[in-house]
Amino acid sequence: MLNLSVAGMLEKSQLSSEGVWLLLVEVAVPDSEEPLRLVRNNEDIVWNGYAWSAFNFTIDEVKEDYKARMTSIALQISNITQTVQAYVENNNGLVGANVVLRVIHSQHLDTVLPEVEEIFTIQATTCDSKWVTFDLGCDMLEQLRFPFRRVLKSFCAWRDHYKGIECGYAGELPSCDGTLQSCRDRDNSVRYGGEPSIPEGGLYA
């Protein structure tokens, strides 16, 4: 199963949790000890001893090769204020810089380990009036901390193991379509293999 912290496991088992999953982006800046630290949220937060600035950004669908290995992912950061573009223009597009994507839970900002952490490298950068888009390569997957499986927002990872150990359903219904509603219909939503509260944008956790 996903190697979540204890607090994260408790939150996952409570689909009605008051908190939310927060997506963090950390972009290394050449010749600087201070990276860009952004959180997709409506207010700034402090996590792991650092301030994370509330910012609008999205993550595109993960691209995979024929062996189902991740090859690249597009990270789009709002360019309305041109804050990020200034870093891009002063640092050769930030090409070659590392980007760390993390997922944490708003109710457990005192937990120093993220629920998910993935490291990428910026391969290319484009800018327009609305977005700075980083094409993130996956050549640093050997530094991947988590996960041991992928988690999707609206699809159960246990669909192909229906009634198996992870699924845990032992009733009479013969099949499952892998949705949260199917789990609810079976009174089995606490074993749902997806993550309804994970941030939008296609991040595989």
Per-residue pLDDT tens over the stretch 20-78: 888 999 999 998 889 999 999 989 999 999 999 999 998 876 655 555 555 678 899 99
Instruction: Give buried/exposed letters for 80-117 (b at 16+ CB in 10 A, else e).
Output: eeeebbebbeebebbeebbbbbbbbbbbbeebebbbbb
> What confidence tier does 94 reach under pLDDT thresholds 50, 70, 90?
very high
Tokens 């689909």 sit on residue: 15
What mean pLDDT, rounded, does the chain reach? 78
196 compared with 41, residue with greater pLDDT: 41
Half-sphere exposure of 165 (CA within 13 A, CB side): 1
Residue in 165, 158, 154, 134 with CA at minimum distance from that of residue 204: 154
Q: Give the pLDDT of residue 153.
A: 56
Low-confidence winner among 70-74, 118-122, 172-176, 177-181 (lowest mean pLDDT): 70-74
Please state the rounded mean pLDDT for residues 90-108.
Answer: 91
112 compared with 5, residue with greater pLDDT: 112
Q: Give the pLDDT of residue 143.
A: 43
Low-confidence winner among 97-101, 151-155, 185-189 (lowest mean pLDDT): 151-155
- The one-letter amino acid code at 197 reads S
Among 2-11, 81-90, 177-186, the range with the most confident prediction by mean pLDDT is: 81-90
Q: Give the pLDDT of residue 51.
A: 97
Could you tell me the two tokens for 104? 């944490």
Please state the rounded mean pLDDT for residues 157-175.
Answer: 80
Residue percentage of the chain with pLDDT more than 90: 34
Q: Provide the 8-state DSSP code for 139.
A: T
Nearby residues of 31 by Cβ (< 8 Å), 6 or more positions away: none
Q: Give the pLDDT of residue 157.
A: 73
- Are 84 and 131 within 8 A, CB to CB? no
